Amino acid sequence: MTRLENKTALITGGTSGIGLETARQFIAEGARVSITGSSEKSVAAARAEFGDKALVIQADAGNAAGQKIVAGAIKEAFGHLDILFVNAGVAEFGPLEQWSEGAFDKSIAINVKGPFFLIQALLPIFSKQASIVLNTSINAHIGMPNSSVYALTKGALLTLAKTLSGELIGRGIRVNAVSPGPIATPLYGKFGMSEADANAMASQIQAQIPVGRFGDAGEVAKTIIFLASDEAAYIVGSELVIDGGMSNL
């Protein structure tokens, strides 16, 4: 299909997980795609995979000033932007008493501050029928132990989707959010746990999902394509939950 034909798109955190799969599907749907990634290794791997099919930018999602550089690269490459998928994020978990101010600030910077100033920097080049999709989480809705900071940042991002939807619709920019539940991505290998603890955590989480499995990145990507396309032209300020029924328990 070519639901995104002739559209330009930027995916942050597009070198792994949900972002990478979304980039693949965006390209298959006809979009001109740019992705950002933070590590040299992931950026190099994405460039090797996509070649001239995607512009790959190395960028720190938590650096507010650096978002202007990303916006400048998009303007130079595309001239304008039709789709923004804000996907870059960090998930760090721990009990309340173990959090340091530095770790707290890191999560806020990457998950909230960076996205806010990226959208601000991109405002001059968004088209008059643009779509912004923010990747939040069901953790904004459920009281999962040890997720306080992560849930706080995702709740803030969800609120941002709702407030900006009202503020930007007059410019022709639709803002919506997706809130995935547990998705089988490399994110779950970044928690700093032993393999045994990580497996135990995964089993515990899976037992709470009515469909009995983790989601697939491709399932999230298909939802994002829908919100980004003209098929969703009447959807503004909405949140689509993709969690296998977990948040309904």
Whole-number Å distance between alpha carbons of 25 and 83:
14
- In this structure, the strands spanning 126-135 and 239-242 are unpaired
In whole angstroms, give the CA distance from residue 110 to residue 100. Answer: 16
- Residue 239's CB is within 10 A of a number of other CB atoms, namely 16
Q: Determine which helix (DSSP H) or strand (DSSP E) holds 35, and give its type and residue range.
A: strand 32-37
Task: Evaluate the CA torsion angle 204, 17, 110, 194 in order and state its sign.
Answer: positive
Residues with catalytic roles = 150
- The three-state secondary structure class of 231 is helix
| CA quadruple 41, 37, 114, 243: dihedral sign | negative
Phi, psi of 107 (to 5 degrees): -65, -40
Please return the burial class of 185, using the count of CB atoms within 10 Å of its CB with bins 0-12, 13-18 and 19+.
buried
